[in-house]
Amino acid sequence: NAGVMQNPRHLVRRRGQEARLRCSPMKGHSHVYWYRQLPEEGLKFMVYLQKENIIDESGMPKERFSAEFPKEGPSILRIQQVVRGDSAAYFCASSPLGYGTDTQYFGPGTRLTVL
Amino acid sequence: KNEVEQSPQNLTAQEGEFITINCSYSVGISALHWLQQHPGGGIVSLFMLSSGKKKHGRLIATINIQEKHSSLHITASHPRDSAVYICAVSLGNTPLVFGKGTRLSVIA
């Protein structure tokens, strides 16, 4: 049973470009969470999705960031017009049931560097 | 809003020592998680607990709901235990709130 997969593992973008981060949850998991870890800071919740639905996006920046989890395929975190401050590690996690009362399984992360 | 505080921030231990990492939170919770993040960056869930104590190998996690406090203990520590240990809490239908982590180095 493959774990949570994220790709790419490392992504370099120039300011103003778009970044697309992909997350494939563990088999049988329909709940996906995205987190951001800024350098020397703790993990911060961004968004929680179930298939085709955004359940909680209270941690998403209001502009340039969007997330989806289509019926088929991976969850995508999209950052438009990236800026240097977006440089961070982005982790995806999945769980079979929802929210914090269930163990979440983390992917290896995508390290985004904005030049 | 729940605040999660971990102590110490950094910890260096000799191989074989007993290690304790602490986590305090400000608001009542439904579950507390302990996570391990290795130097390469991968995150592993160690425990999820809402009361009492759990043990897995050399790791023990305890929680005191009344005092809003949890501890993670490592017995017979080993250099491979070197990692950042992260505490996270949830109210049940809210996102996880994370502590800043405790960076542990175990020296041979």
* pLDDT band, residue A101 (cuts 50/70/90): low
Cα–Cα distance measured from residue A24 to residue A22, given in angstroms and rounded to the nearest whole number: 7
* pLDDT band, residue B23 (cuts 50/70/90): very high
pLDDT at A86 over 70: yes
Residues in chain A: 115
Token pair of B100 as six digits: 């800043």
What residues in A contact B30, CB-CB < 8 Å?
A: 100-101
* pLDDT band, residue B41 (cuts 50/70/90): confident
Token pair of A20 as six digits: 């697309």
**Cβ of B30 under 8 Å from any chain A Cβ?**
yes
**Cβ of A41 under 8 Å from any chain B Cβ?**
yes
In terms of CA atoms, which chain B residue is nearest residue A43?
Answer: B98
**Cβ of B49 under 8 Å from any chain A Cβ?**
no
Partners of A7 in the β-ladder: A22
Question: Between chains, do A99 and B93 touch, taking CB under 8 Å as contact?
Answer: yes
Closest CA relative to residue A22, chosen from A79, A85, A99: A79
Question: Between chains, do A100 and B91 touch, taking CB under 8 Å as contact?
Answer: yes
Token pair of A28 as six digits: 């049988």
| Parallel, antiparallel or unpaired: strands B102-107 and B10-14 | parallel
In terms of CA atoms, which chain B residue is nearest residue A47?
Answer: B95
What residues in B contact A106, CB-CB < 8 Å?
A: 35, 42-45
How close B89 comes to chain A (CA, Å)? 7
pLDDT (average), residues A61-67: 95
In terms of CA atoms, which chain B residue is nearest residue A33?
Answer: B95
pLDDT in tens, A7-45: 999 999 999 999 999 999 999 899 999 999 998 888 999
pLDDT at B79 over 90: yes
**Cβ of B57 under 8 Å from any chain A Cβ?**
no
